[in-house]
Structure 1
Amino acid sequence: MDQLAALRVFIRTVEAGSLTRAAAELGLPKSTASKLLSQLEQHLGAKLLQRSTRSLALTSEGSDYYERAGQLVAKLHDLDTDLQHRRSLVSGRIRVDVHSTMAHAVLIPALADFRARHPGIEVALGISDRPVSLIGEGVDCVVRLGRLADTTLIGRTVYEDHLITCASPDYLRRHGPLTEPTQLRQGHDLVGYFSALSGEAKPLVFQRGAEKIKIAAKGFQANDSMGQVSMILNGLGVGQTFRSTVKAHLASGALVPVLEEWTAGTEPISVLYPPAKQQNVRVRAFIDWLVEHLDAQTGRS
């Protein structure tokens, strides 16, 4: 039984003088409201209302319970209103840095929801795969992909994102189907990714059971993840990228997963911020919202 919902049905029924009107005002089917009321009485082991087809009256137990329950629900309403009011008053500017593909595919489409929740917070969004110095560049928090090495920051790992091997339908029509990773070593174009910091190119990795294959991406390469995805979309070759950032392209058919019997591994998606920002209400509000949104994106909430 949802006791809070049952309490609201009971209080509204008393105040409306009718279960039918109470159900309508609460947006519930009458059968649901009646069931909640019956469950509440069973839970309490007491009759709260004397009901007939024409009248409704409180029992002595119901009268006492109505007075106390009304006070409780009123306090809960005041608590909700106060919290919503305080959240609406949070204001100021925050600087957030985000990985390129995640910014375009995941974060930017959801920023209207953040603005609706926190209209007073101004978000300055830095979009780049280049690692930034949070303290040196005045960044409040950053979303990063990969294993965390900077121990001076506070980090919240949100989820593990799967790497996916994919290509455009046009590319596959021109080059034929793929059944084994080793086919990529000849007769195929690859789209790789290299670090904007070190210049090191990441190989394409394939694993099936104990077997692991690494293939150097010697075709096209980009040091910006959005650029890499754009290359794959435009039929320049086969590449590996994060599933969450190309989910829409996979759903539309603009990209096609290949070599699905082979896993490409996972990387953590984390939110990091300097210890000095731990008590900043604007930063906390953004991080809490971001974690909730990323959870929803991965279907975990």
Structure 2
Amino acid sequence: MDQLSAMRVFVRVVETGNFTRAATALDMPKTTVTNMVQSLEAHLRTTLLNRTTRRVMVTTDGALYYERAIQILSEIEELDGSMSNSQTQPSGRLRVEMAGAFADLIVIPNLCDFYKRYPQIQLDIGVGDRLVDYIAENVDCALRGGTPTDQSLIARKVGELKLRTFAAPFYIENFGEPTNPRELEEKHFSVGYLNATLGRVLSMEFCRGDEVVEINPRYVVSVNDARSYLNAMIAGIGVGQSLGFMVNDAVERGELVEIMTDWDCETLPLYIVYPQTRHLSNKVRVFVDWLAKLVQGLKDGDQALPPMRKAG
């Protein structure tokens, strides 16, 4: 048995959900796919898949083997890529993590351009602001807002966007419009942003000339997702800080109003992070470079980034 080939076949069966689709994807006879998985199970002395007439279900051992298998196959792919000619087109699966706002408003609208440049790369995008185990979850890299604190990660700064302060007309009608940041600690409410890594609600920073004010806002609710944070602001739950490209539509619809415009907010640095133990393969490198140029197309977060010209 060619264990490496059998491992690849098993992974494809899990990902496609049955032997027939896996055989089609691998351009193999279905009997060959079935026999290779059976040989792998015999070699490992365990059942990896439970078969029924309609579907294939992964066993507990199968799920564990799948997670390790895709990591090993990815490392082999990266090793092969590092030894090949530098002109070879990057290829393979790329697992990335990012907040929903970055995915929806920056990355996904421009993926046609990325695919046009690198048609052999398959992107798996995990969406959300959460703690990630990069090794266990086989994550290649992540786009994160704010300065990384995890010393086990390599961080590359790809941009810096300016935060601005907003409130809903409903909030202003009911509570008035704050004119000084200190009012957010004394008599106004904000929407809290809960940082999953730090485990606390983030402070807000304002500056005007030489005066710098950092406040811990009073809040009724805190969230750890940028889209939920925006929705809470629109609902009138409190004042919030956001990036221009995220709130443009809401401002145009009259759902949010920019306030305290004589005070500047802090800037939000954007980083791409990846594990120190992971070789920076060609596919990761080209994605990082592409994303860096994409983010730099945003001017202080004042406007949404227009999609690049689509392939074809």
TM-score when normalising by structure 2? 0.60
Q: Which residue of 2 aligns with 1:141?
A: 141
Contact 1:145 1:270 (8 Å CA) reproduced: yes
Q: Which residue of 2 aligns with 1:223?
A: 224
Q: Which residue of 2 aligns with 1:202?
A: 202
Contact 1:161 1:244 (8 Å CA) reproduced: no
Q: Which residue of 2 aligns with 1:99?
A: 99
Question: Which sections of structure 1, spanning at least 5 residues, go unmatched?
Answer: 1-85
Note the aligned Cα RMSD (angstroms).
2.8
Contact 1:192 1:240 (8 Å CA) reproduced: no
Q: Percent identity?
A: 33
Report the Cα distance in structure 1 between the residues aligned to 2:101 and 2:160, rounded to whole angstroms.
Answer: 16
SS of residue matched to 2:265 = coil
Instruction: Report the residue type matching 2:227 in the other structure.
Output: M
Report the Cα distance in structure 1 between the residues aligned to 2:213 and 2:280, rounded to whole angstroms.
Answer: 45
Instruction: Report the residue type matching 1:222 in the other structure.
Output: V
Higher relative contact order, structure no. (Cα contacts within 8 Å, ≥ 6 residues apart): 2
1:171-230 Cα deviation digits (max 9, x unpaired): 334433332223334654321111224431123333322242414232221122221111
Report the Cα distance in structure 1 between the residues aligned to 2:130 and 2:155, rounded to whole angstroms.
Answer: 18
Report the Cα distance in structure 1 between the residues aligned to 2:285 and 2:117, rounded to whole angstroms.
Answer: 13
Report the Cα distance in structure 1 between the residues aligned to 2:217 and 2:176, rounded to whole angstroms.
Answer: 20
Structure having the larger proportion of residues in helix: 1
Report the Cα distance in structure 1 between the residues aligned to 2:110 and 2:173, rounded to whole angstroms.
Answer: 35
| Shift in CA distance, 239/139, structure 1 to aligned 2, threshold 3 Å | same
Contact 1:277 1:283 (8 Å CA) reproduced: no
Which structure would you say has the larger Rg? Answer: 1
The CA deviation at 1:141 is: 0.7
Report the Cα distance in structure 1 between the residues aligned to 2:250 and 2:278, rounded to whole angstroms.
Answer: 36
SS of residue matched to 2:283 = helix
Contact 2:97 2:128 (8 Å CA) reproduced: yes
Q: Which moved more, 1:255-264 or 1:203-212?
A: 203-212
Tell whether 2:262 aligns with 1:267.
Answer: no
Report the Cα distance in structure 2 between the residues aligned to 1:105 and 1:297, rounded to whole angstroms.
Answer: 11
| Shift in CA distance, 211/142, structure 1 to aligned 2, threshold 3 Å | closer
Report the Cα distance in structure 2 between the residues aligned to 1:207 and 1:284, rounded to whole angstroms.
Answer: 36
SS of residue matched to 1:103 = helix
SS of residue matched to 1:150 = coil
Tell whether 2:159 aligns with 1:163.
Answer: no
Tell whether 2:292 aligns with 1:295.
Answer: no
Tell whether 2:171 aligns with 1:176.
Answer: no
Q: Which residue of 2 aligns with 1:80?
A: none
SS of residue matched to 1:246 = helix
SS of residue matched to 1:293 = helix
Instruction: Report the residue type matching 1:269 in the other structure.
Output: L
1:64-112 Cα deviation digits (max 9, x unpaired): xxxxxxxxxxxxxxxxxxxxxx67x432111001023222232222223
| Shift in CA distance, 224/139, structure 1 to aligned 2, threshold 3 Å | same
The CA deviation at 1:276 is: 5.1
The CA deviation at 1:232 is: 0.9
Q: Which moved more, 1:107-116 or 1:135-144?
A: 107-116
Report the Cα distance in structure 1 between the residues aligned to 2:186 and 2:298, rounded to whole angstroms.
Answer: 37
Aligned pair count? 215
Report the Cα distance in structure 2 between the residues aligned to 1:170 and 1:117, rounded to whole angstroms.
Answer: 46
Instruction: Report the residue type matching 1:218 in the other structure.
Output: Y
Q: Which residue of 1 aligns with 2:236?
A: 235
Report the Cα distance in structure 1 between the residues aligned to 2:245 and 2:143, rounded to whole angstroms.
Answer: 14
TM-score when normalising by structure 1? 0.62
| Shift in CA distance, 264/90, structure 1 to aligned 2, threshold 3 Å | same
1:110-165 Cα deviation digits (max 9, x unpaired): 22322232222111111121121222321101111112333333321012222221
| Shift in CA distance, 141/92, structure 1 to aligned 2, threshold 3 Å | same
| Shift in CA distance, 159/248, structure 1 to aligned 2, threshold 3 Å | farther
SS of residue matched to 2:213 = strand
Instruction: Report the residue type matching 2:171 in the other structure.
Output: Y
Matches within 5 A, 1:22-37: none
Contact 2:188 2:218 (8 Å CA) reproduced: no
| Shift in CA distance, 217/119, structure 1 to aligned 2, threshold 3 Å | farther
Q: Which residue of 1 aligns with 2:65?
A: none
1:2-28 Cα deviation digits (max 9, x unpaired): xxxxxxxxxxxxxxxxxxxxxxxxxxx
